[in-house]
Amino acid sequence: MKVWMGRGVSVENREHSTSAEELAVWGESFEAKQPQELLAAVIERYTTKIVLACSFGAEDVVLVDMVHRINPSVPLFYLDTDFLFPETYATRDRVIERYGLQPRQVIQVKSMLTPKQQAAQHGDALWASHPDQCCELRKVEPLRRVLKGFDAWITGIRRDQSPTRANAKLIEWDRKFQLAKVNPLAKWTSEDVWTYIRVHEVPYNELHDRGYPSIGCTYCTSPVMPGEDSRAGRWKNFAKTECGLHKAS
């Protein structure tokens, strides 16, 4: 149950006229409001040109639930790196079933290279030798490709996830991908997220119950010890905490 924006697919470019300053001011007006109010406003403003980025982590499944209650026609996409955990695919399937998502609403986006092609061109286990390059090939380029079809994207980043996300705005201009970026849960805590999941019985990735607060690819994700940063399990032994999706260019 998916629409595949896979290898070799191009998407038509689009224009955006709202300034970064206007977006920031608009976002600040929601600082004292609930995420659902922000979501309702941006979905109304961008209608068919807004999409939810979903990794099927805790924050993202919360956003799936919220968006579905506001406008169930809003699509989501996920970056299928070919190295996701089986539990992540299982969560995808449970989310699709729970919310009755149609194939056109679930966009699977893949790298232009298969894992075998990547190994042939860049060497085996690229994630172990050059993780930034691996993320560029399997995440950043596919993301750039899919976002060209939209004017705004919704993400699940929170300010307290890591120092690199501490200054995330509720709405901002994404200079790297050239569209509006909406972070409805930016001011929420992990406790807020899990309270919502429990209250609304939202399907979630069972890896969260095994010490994985942040879940990415199998080769680059490890459990986190008590007291560690929530993203400490990503790219262990590397000075890397982000895959490049949420950094300014």
Q: Is residue 241 part of a domain?
A: no
Q: What global pTM score does this model have? A: 0.85
* pLDDT beneath 50: ranges in the chain: 1-17, 239-240, 242, 248-249
* pLDDT, position 228: 60
Which residues does residue 173 pair with via DSSP β-bridges, in sequence order?
180
Q: Is 20:172 a contact under the CB 8 Å cutoff?
A: yes
Q: Report residue 85 as tokens.
A: 């955990």
Strand pairing report for 171-174 and 179-182: antiparallel
* pLDDT, position 237: 57
Q: Is residue 231 part of a domain?
A: no
Three-class SS of residue 52? strand
Q: Is residue 236 part of a domain?
A: no
Which residues does residue 76 pair with via DSSP β-bridges, in sequence order?
52, 106
* CATH label of the domain that carries residue 178: 3.40.50.620
Q: Is residue 237 part of a domain?
A: no
Q: Is residue 246 part of a domain?
A: no
The contacts of residue 155 (CB under 8 Å, 6+ apart) are 53, 181, 182, 183, 246
Q: Is residue 123 part of a domain?
A: yes
* pLDDT, position 12: 37
Active site residue 243: yes
pLDDT digits (tens, 9 = 90+) for 181-236: 999 999 999 999 999 999 999 999 999 999 898 899 999 887 776 666 665 555 55
What does the alpha-carbon distance between residue 247 and residue 132 come to, in Å, rounded to a whole number? 12
Q: Is residue 230 part of a domain?
A: no
Q: Is residue 227 part of a domain?
A: no
- Please identify which of the residues 54, 217, 220, 243 carries the catalytic annotation: 243
* pLDDT, position 234: 54
* pLDDT, position 49: 97
Structural domain tally of the chain?
A: 1
- Which residues form the domain of 43? 3-220
* pLDDT, position 158: 93
